[in-house]
């Protein structure tokens, strides 16, 4: 019998174990996409404070703003900015309404496929209908520490990828409902928007956001 040196033994043992390890089932996430969708839907109508930071390539410093964000079933989203100056953005059905300085502009989402896809992504996250986003995005769900979760939306179509590089949503599971804590939109031109939700010290969401 040929003696096996200690060096050979150290190299041989991992090689013998590898086929067995490859046969073991891969670890699965404690949270699945369907579970997350149900937990997001459990939030129902909601209103919270937000702080938003926008990083634009044409500016040396980021733009900071804060206010209230309200979601009303089935698909009405109201972003009421209170600082540094008041303005309101409303997504309602197939229309987007922007109000600032006493003026109002209404845009049809039918005229902007990319805008419609972005609006659908925000609504899908907030109302739990994330499965409906599979036509436009690859959905990648990851676990975070504790009961945290991270959902990445990666554009599947060239038209959408020309505008959006990635959407990242981070949140926490609490009592069978999923709270969204941060949403990051990375645009194809390098700009980035980070919105943090439920930030202590932001303007109190005691009253409903104003509607034009």
Q: How far apart are CA 30 and CA 189, in angstroms?
A: 35
Q: Which two tokens stand for residue 70?
A: 């309200």
Residue 103: pLDDT band (50, 70, 90) is very high
Q: Can you give the pLDDT at residue 199? A: 72
Q: What is the mean pLDDT of the chain?
A: 82
Query: Is the predicted pLDDT of residue 115 greater than 70, yes or no?
Result: yes
Could you read off the pLDDT of 44-54 as tens digits, one per residue? 888 999 999 99
pLDDT at 178: 92
Average pLDDT value for residue range 58-70: 96
Residue 123: its pLDDT value, please? 87
Q: Which two tokens stand for residue 162?
A: 């020309």
Q: Would you list the DSSP string of 3-63?
A: PPPHHHHHHHHHHHHHHHHHHSPPP--SS-HHHHHHHHHTT-SEEEEEEEEEE-TT-SS-E
Which of 47, 40, 50 minimizes the C-alpha distance to 197? 50
Q: What is the pLDDT of residue 170?
A: 96
What is the reported pLDDT for 4? 45
pLDDT at 43 over 90: no
The CATH number assigned to the domain with range 30-197 reads: 2.50.20.10
For residue 142, which phi and psi values (nearest 5 degrees)? -130, 150
pLDDT at residue 151 tops 90: yes
Q: What pLDDT is recorded for position 56? A: 96
Residue 30 is predicted with a pLDDT of: 54
**CB of 185 within 8 A of CB of 152?**
no
Q: pLDDT tens-digit profile of 65-86?
A: 999 999 998 889 999 999 999 9
Residue 34, CA distances (Å) to 4, 12, 87, 119 in order: 52, 43, 35, 21
Tell me the per-residue pLDDT of 155-189, one tens digit each, with 9 for 90 and over.
999 988 999 999 999 999 988 899 999 999 999 99
Locus of tokens 């069978």: 176
Strand stretches in the chain, DSSP E: 46-55, 63-72, 76-83, 87-92, 95-100, 103-108, 137-143, 148-155, 164-174, 177-187, 192-197
Size of the chain in residues: 212
Q: Of the candidates 96, 45, 93, 85, which has an alpha carbon nearest to the alpha carbon of residue 69?
A: 45
pTM of the model: 0.77
Q: Would you say 85 and 76 are in contact if contact means Cβ atoms under 8 Å apart?
A: no
Q: Which pLDDT score is estimated for 17?
A: 39
pLDDT number for residue 73: 85
């Amino acid at each position: 019998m040929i003696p096996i040196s200690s060096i050979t033994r150290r190299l041989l043992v991992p090689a013998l174990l590898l086929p067995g390890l490859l046969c073991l089932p891969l670890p699965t996430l404690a949270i699945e996409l369907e579970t997350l969708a149900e937990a997001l839907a459990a939030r129902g109508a909601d209103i919270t404070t937000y702080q938003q930071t926008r990083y634009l390539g044409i500016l040396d410093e980021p733009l900071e703003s804060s206010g209230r964000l309200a979601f009303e079933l089935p698909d009405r989203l109201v972003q009421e900015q209170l600082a540094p100056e008041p303005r309101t953005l409303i997504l309602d059905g197939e229309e987007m309404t922007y109000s600032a300085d006493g003026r109002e502009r209404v845009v049809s989402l039918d005229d902007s496929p990319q805008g419609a896809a972005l609006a659908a992504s925000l609504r899908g996250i907030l109302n739990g209908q994330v499965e409906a986003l599979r036509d436009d995005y690859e959905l990648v769900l990851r676990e975070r520490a504790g009961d945290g979760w991270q959902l990445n939306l990666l554009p599947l179509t060239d038209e959408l990828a020309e505008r959006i590089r990635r959407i990242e949503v981070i949140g926490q599971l609490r009592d069978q409902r999923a709270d969204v804590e941060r949403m990051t939109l990375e645009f194809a031109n390098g700009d980035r928007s980070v919105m943090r939700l439920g930030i202590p010290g932001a303007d109190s969401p005691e009253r409903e956001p104003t509607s034009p």
